[in-house]
Amino acid sequence: MAKRAFLMGVLSVIGCFGQNNPTFYPTAAHVNLYFPHLADGGPVFGQWQSSVEFVNPSPTMTAHVQLSLFGDQGLPLSLDFGSGSFAVHPFSIPPSGRITLRSTLASGTIVEGQAVANSDIPIQGTILFRNIVNGKLGVELSAPPTLPTSRYLSLATRDLGVALANVSGVTKSFVVTAVDSSGTAVATTLITLAGFGHHAFNLGQELPDLPADFSGSIVITPQVPGDQVLAWTVNVERNLISTLPIGQLEWPISHPDRIQLVFQRLLAAASSLSGINLNLQPPPKLVTPSDVAAASASVNSNQNVQINLALSELVSDSPSELAFLVAHELAHIAQTRTGMNTILLPNEATNKEADADLIAMILVLQAGFDPYGAPGAIGKLSMANGSSGLVSSNFDNLPDPTPAFSAARMNSMLGVITSACTYVTAGYCAADKAAIHPHFPGSAPL
Ligand SMILES: [Zn+2]
């Protein structure tokens, strides 16, 4: 009995500690996961089977996911993963759970396309390709999900396997250039894909003039600068297939995907807060207009959160800076929905902005971003609303009693961090500080 009580005590301490841990995600965890290639079926002497695998890294939240499949021409592609043939597969993954969707070899010819998974919290994914020859397992290789990019690089031979996919809904063309081992471009071709279309090929099929012993690299870019390409390559040599590193650019990154990731992480953080109901369910709609040059964010009459792509580009090297700006807009949604001018600062009922900053800081902390992204974002906005004229002084189009990006607001951020630490679970900021700022002075709140 005493032993059981002791055990319960240990378990409750562990449970408590778990809640105190900041939510950090694996690099590969995303809310938009693009799989540039999938294949199923074929004749018995050469079948392909695809398994799409997901793990939910959150110990507390269920992931709600939708997997959409598109064929070579960009049309919805119906595949059977064991529970019927559909082009869209909705499913959920329990906290810390895993799910496998394995295609069922339903077609006598090889069916190919691309897949996109959209989740409401970050999840980790992988696709496995299994080659089956007369019922015997041949080879299996895996590919991580990827993100659209403005340039894809891969080492290449003439037999290189390439999957190319169009992530936009309209027809796009892509330039494939082969570069030899001394760095000289030796062949190039243009490949046009329908909206959401897909094309898988061996390099020599599209570049027939490449010598048989070609050894170099390929670069794939969208024909129109600013567009994005989705690609994946596999090494093929003497009929052996092996995986290659993902060749998308590290930076610049796909802003719509990054904004979506930040937005969903913050919403997940909002629903995991204890003691503060921000009324953010059902979630507001996120809109990311690309035709607005000014860097601004706003909450419109439909209670949409609008994050202009130019704003994301202004803070493009820092997800934590973007997180503070998106969280600030979510805080204004919360103020509107709760009918309170200020939710956490009742004695400062006219200062919606200070209240939104504090709520944003709590969300940023809870979602595992760096809270020092806040002064970074305000500093960049301060620069951008000066003589450069990139952004107006009330960047979120709300009445603002104070100069929006004053030095005073920036200097107040350390106090906002200190205050935010009193709203999250006890011990959370200490754990966060130990993880991300272990060399900060002891006096720093985080
Ligand atoms: Zn505001």
Q: Where are the domains of the chain?
A: 20-145, 147-250, 255-436
Furthest C-alpha separation in the chain? 79
From residue 287, how far is each of 195, 263, 290, 306, 317 by CA, in Å?
Answer: 21, 11, 10, 5, 21
For residue 72 the two structure tokens come to 């070579």
- Whether residue 318 contacts residue 374, with contact meaning beta carbons closer than 8 Å, is answered with no
Q: Pick the closest to residue 351 from 279, 416, 441, 438 (CA basis).
A: 416
> Please, which pLDDT band fits residue 7 given cuts at 50, 70 and 90?
very low
Q: What is the pLDDT of residues 292-303, one digit of tens each?
A: 877 788 888 888
Q: Which fold has domain 20-145?
A: Hypothetical Protein Tm1070; Chain: A (2.60.290)
Q: What percent of the chain has pLDDT over 70?
A: 93
Give the CATH number of domain 147-250; options: 2.40.110.20, 3.30.160.270, 2.60.290.11, 2.160.20.10: 2.60.290.11
> Please, which pLDDT band fits residue 5 given cuts at 50, 70 and 90?
very low
- Neighbour tally for 316: CB within 10 Å: 17
Distance (angstroms) between ligand 1 centre and the Cα of 228 equals 32
Distance (angstroms) between ligand 1 centre and the Cα of 120 equals 25
For residue 274 the two structure tokens come to 């204890």
Distance (angstroms) between ligand 1 centre and the Cα of 252 equals 27
pLDDT at residue 394, rounded to an integer: 67
Distance (angstroms) between ligand 1 centre and the Cα of 329 equals 6
> Please, which pLDDT band fits residue 52 given cuts at 50, 70 and 90?
very high
Distance (angstroms) between ligand 1 centre and the Cα of 429 equals 25
Q: What is the pLDDT of residues 123-141, one digit of tens each?
A: 999 999 999 999 999 999 9
Distance (angstroms) between ligand 1 centre and the Cα of 312 equals 16
- Whether residue 425 contacts residue 20, with contact meaning beta carbons closer than 8 Å, is answered with yes
Q: What is the pLDDT of residues 222-259, one digit of tens each?
A: 999 999 999 999 999 888 899 999 999 988 889 999 99
Does the pTM exceed 0.85? Answer: yes
Distance (angstroms) between ligand 1 centre and the Cα of 348 equals 15
Distance (angstroms) between ligand 1 centre and the Cα of 396 equals 5
For residue 231 the two structure tokens come to 């690609």
Distance (angstroms) between ligand 1 centre and the Cα of 350 equals 12
Give me the residues paired with residue 162 across strands.
201, 233
Give me the residues paired with residue 140 across strands.
130
Q: Would the pLDDT of 142 be above 60?
A: yes
From residue 410, how far is each of 172, 341, 383, 389, 425 by CA, in Å?
Answer: 43, 22, 12, 19, 25
Distance (angstroms) between ligand 1 centre and the Cα of 362 equals 15
- Give the sign of the dihedral formed by CA 412, CA 418, CA 423, CA 429: positive
Distance (angstroms) between ligand 1 centre and the Cα of 261 equals 21
Burial class (CB in 10 A: 0-12, 13-18, 19+), 338: middle
For residue 364 the two structure tokens come to 């940023």
Distance (angstroms) between ligand 1 centre and the Cα of 2 equals 54
Matching fold, domains 20-145 and 147-250: yes
Q: What is the pLDDT of residues 200-212, one digit of tens each?
A: 999 999 999 999 9
Distance (angstroms) between ligand 1 centre and the Cα of 328 equals 6
Question: What DSSP character marks residue 348?
Answer: G
